[in-house]
Amino acid sequence: MKDFTNKVAVITGGASGVGRAIAHLLAKEGAKVVVADIEATALDRTVKELEALGCECMGQRADVTDANSMNALVDAVMARFGAMHLVFANAGVGTGEAGNMWDYELNDWEWGFRVNTWGLIHSINAFLPKLVAQNEEAHFVVTGSGNGAFLMLPNTPIYTASKAAVQAITENLHYQLQATQSPVKVNALFPGPHVVNTGIFNSERNRPESLPGNPDKPDSGIHSVEDMKAIMAQYDMQLQTTEPEEVAAFAIQGIRDESFWISPMSDKARAGFVARVDSILNRTTPTVPDVL
């Protein structure tokens, strides 16, 4: 897909961070944009921003953890635009893990997997039947993470595990669509190459009341990218970051190039991935990757 003019793009988690940046870039490319998000205030703000750019757009509050909500989103898009050409399964959360995983609350595990993993499953079940039935060029873009897909970072076991599952699902979806010779393509998007400056470290703002967190659990002390920078500065280390707009730019270019792997890596991340693969192939004891 080279030209996005009048293409209909749907973005879950589209009201902030990477999703919002993708929405803005696609609007400038002439696409019709559907922003879906659980955060109503951010959703309204983003739609107004897109309208100011002259974009034909709509916003819908949607919860990726709820299959009915995702089906309603698809119905609303089809009723408004009659087709879909780009779907970004982008919604995700960090659960603020700290301490030993055997002390984690079950609610934290369930919340992380409901959004990151089940959110993708619900998105596939809602969108893919329509995309496949259209029998025309379309892209289903999954926002994964190198933390889980390529590396195992021990300070975020819930996020790592949920994103490892996301990558397994994404690759198998790619293989199945290939086998049917469908014109629907899958892209695996990995924000990076450095820590992305988004609100994922403050995901608690959207935590459901049905899965409350334990107020007495250890605090990681990281609720924003600025917190990470401050902690590293205490050790005379500088955190390199990537802005959401950079991710949006290489995401759109990756679609144009029909790349399955949209995955820029830092030198440290690449070295960590190579070391992990070597450890698997040579059956050596793995060590914690140094990626920051």
Q: Which of 265, 143, 264, 130 is nearest to 198 (CA)?
A: 143
The label of the residue with tokens 């400056």 reads 197
CA distances from 93 to 96, 171, 176, 232 (A): 9, 21, 27, 23
Extended beta strands in the chain, E state: 8-12, 32-37, 57-61, 86-89, 138-143, 184-189, 195-196, 241-242, 261-262
The label of the residue with tokens 């990477």 reads 18
Amino acid at 267: D
Pair 47, 57: CB distance under 8 Å = yes
DSSP, collapsed to helix, strand or coil, labels residue 237 as coil
Rounded-to-integer distance, Cα 183 and Cα 115, Å: 28
Rounded-to-integer distance, Cα 139 and Cα 49, Å: 24
In degrees rounded to 5, what are phi and psi of residue 259? -90, 125
Beta bridge partners of 59: 35
Catalytic residues: 159
**DSSP string of 231-246?**
HHHTTT----EE-HHH
Question: What angle, 0 to 180 degrees and rounded to 10, lies between the N-to-C axes of helices 157-179 and 106-116?
Answer: 30
Specify burial of residue 251 (Cβ count, 10 A radius: 0-12, 13-18, 19+). buried
